[in-house]
Amino acid sequence: MQFGLTFEKLLLIGLIAVLIVGPERLPRMAEGFAKVVRRAGEYLRDTRTRVRDEMGPELDDVDWRKLDPRQYDPRRIIRDAILEEPTPPTHPMAAAAAIAEPEPRTPPQRFTPGELPPFDLEAT
């Protein structure tokens, strides 16, 4: 993550902090800031360790750059889908179903004049 902080900006922030806080309280403030930064680092390390423990070793195999939403370009997705070769079915039954002819359709049921079609109370 980049915040756009350069060395010059950090130096300016430090100079302003010295002027606002004053030289007497600055060492205590720096100690407090260092503690906060240290605790935040420990929290992040503990969180990372807990996530690894709970998710298992598969977490290391994930390519997180592929999941970056900034990489989703609809034009590229459509182009890849169009140019992609169709994969043949791998399951033998799926291959047989793909080759088999479709089932013939049954003709619609004809009713004689005056005969009512069956009525299903549960279907309505």
- pLDDT greater than 50 at residue 76: yes
As to burial, measured by CB atoms within 10 angstroms (0-12 exposed, 13-18 middle, 19+ buried), residue 26 is: middle
More confident residue, 120 or 37: 37
pLDDT in tens, 4-29: 778 899 889 888 888 888 878 888 88
Check: CB of residue 17 under 8 Å from CB of residue 29.
Answer: yes
What token pair was written down for 20? 């606002």
pTM (global) more than 0.75: no
Q: In the 3-class helix/strand/coil scheme, how is 108-124 assigned residue by residue?
A: CCCCCCCCCCCCCCCCC
